[in-house]
Structure 1
Amino acid sequence: MGLFEKLTKKAKEERQRIVLPEGTEPRTLTAADRIITEGIADVILIGDPKEIAAAAAELSLTNICKARIVNPADEKVIDKYAPIYFDLRKKKGITIEEARVMTANPLYLGCLMIKNGDADGQVAGALNTTGNVLRAAFQVVKTKPGINSVSGAFVMLLPENSPFGEDGILVFADCAVIPDPDAAQLAEIALSAADTARDIAGITPRIALLSFSTKGSAKHERVEKVIEATKMLQESHPELLVDGELQADAALVPGVAKQKAPGSALEGRADVLIFPSLETGNIAYKLVQRLAGVQAVGPILQGLAAPVNDLSRGCFPEDIYKTIIITCNQAIGAKHA
């Protein structure tokens, strides 16, 4: 059974309520109809009911009528959720009138539904920028306890007979959000990636903090940052299997690990790779994806108190469908944490 088959099965067994704020967008509706048809999640669409019905009819979608539809222009909806946003932002000087305006924004309304326990996760970005999707999540959903940074991971699906990772699965982070993380942020990225490994990849996290140096082979402030992050993790979460600073081959190849990092707890069998900067992570996942023909699942936003995932504005219905499934599994993992 492949990764998405496993994730789909799990989502069906523990159905989650997923908000789609771009409720009239055709690709989103197509994906939502498939999710509903297959019984994967309970879908909440935000938008004008008449516009949603018209768009669904034009696309010949038969099951959108089974979704819950929330109209952001409905005064009763605004009355329910605006006070929540006001309480969250009143220290920033926002007025209740301004809170009502923000609540009518579907991105914020969806997050407010999550905050109020009326939904479990959100998927958006087919129409909205990443900045707008994240801003709503930061202000309303916020981060997990003990985590201050949101980061982005990719699950890399190598051939099943690959000697790397667990069952050919690796997690790369951060590849999407934080350009130049400090030591504390690197440690948080690693903690969040451990959750992604368990909840999405279905693997036991064996975390390597990567560098151009292995165990002191080079001296540089960028190396020191990785060493410091590793110490933070080992001291605060001794239950995690983590090591650094490691070059990629020392993290992934047992024979190299014996030479370069004898005594490393990972023994060259890492399955979660934490990159020292966004540029290295982003470049690495794209090189592996393109040169090796590896499927890269993501970006998966991690570190939020509840899952909110961003889409590319050039996405296809299949991308939205899979992102909804990932979001379901993140929500399930958060509930079982």
Structure 2
Amino acid sequence: MGMKKHFTLKQEIPLDDRWDVIIVGGGPAGCTAAISAAREGVKTLLIEATGALGGMGTNGLVPAWCPFSDKERVIYGGLAQKIMESLKSTMPHVPKDAVDWVPIDPEQLKTLYDDMVTGSGASVLFDTMLSSVETDDKGLVTGIVVTNKSGLCAYQAKVYVDCTGDGDLAVGAGAGYEKGGDNGELQPASHCFMISNVDDYGYQCGPWLHGSNPDSPIHQIANSDKYPLIRDTHICSNFVGPGTVGFNAGHLWDVDSTDPINLSRALMEGRKLAREMRDGLAEYFPEAFANSYLSQTATLMGIRETRRIMGDYVITAEDYMARRSFEDEICR
């Protein structure tokens, strides 16, 4: 019996239409959008596919905030700065005046987002995935369908915000997009991880691990042929707690985050790469990693490139180089 190409659902599903704003995706963009909306007094629902808010900073185990300054002054204010400073205050090993490459404790950040989002008055729905988007004849979104342990459920609001990372809501509503380069190639992904029982003194006093350092052991690891998944010298690391170092290291190629079969394969390969990295560091940097162990791998893949929604205007390379401003910009 051959596999069916299509399957038609014949069922009525419950509808929840009491919301003013629905945000899909509970990463940093979704959390701050929910906080901002709820503070205006509107009924706000934040829908998140995983069991925690924060996206790549929590489920993705990215070990540090990107720089908040231009080396002279802080250039990101508002909620972004408040969240970073609030997290930093829970980490006594981080200097109070640090603003660039500040380490992230993912468990502290999860509860920080929980408190800030619910404290604003917004509601959160975990372990709930967007299934489909309904539109009218003009292409306006009239509702979304999600799935969770309760089954399928429809939601309606006055405003919908896509913070999925892959543009799932926008594409589901019919928005045009591009993905990859001229030949469809995508930037490589990275699967972040943590290594624990690291010798703090050995790590801090040993060679800088970054690949730009010719004395970094990553060069020996990559050139040893013992660790086949470590194909280059990409490695960024940061102390995230006593004896624990977070890593954004290694590359995984041909990863498409919109293809679930492809992404599943990449996650399994990423876990193997993390173990190879731990073993390689133990061999070539024993002062810090001889007695270490791989304590955690991310549940989200670190994606650098995915769908690009084609809006009314698409920023060009020339716009970027000229630092052009636009009347309707919302940040800079």
Superposition TM-score, scaled by structure 2 size = 0.25
Higher RCO (Cα < 8 Å, 6 or more apart)? 1
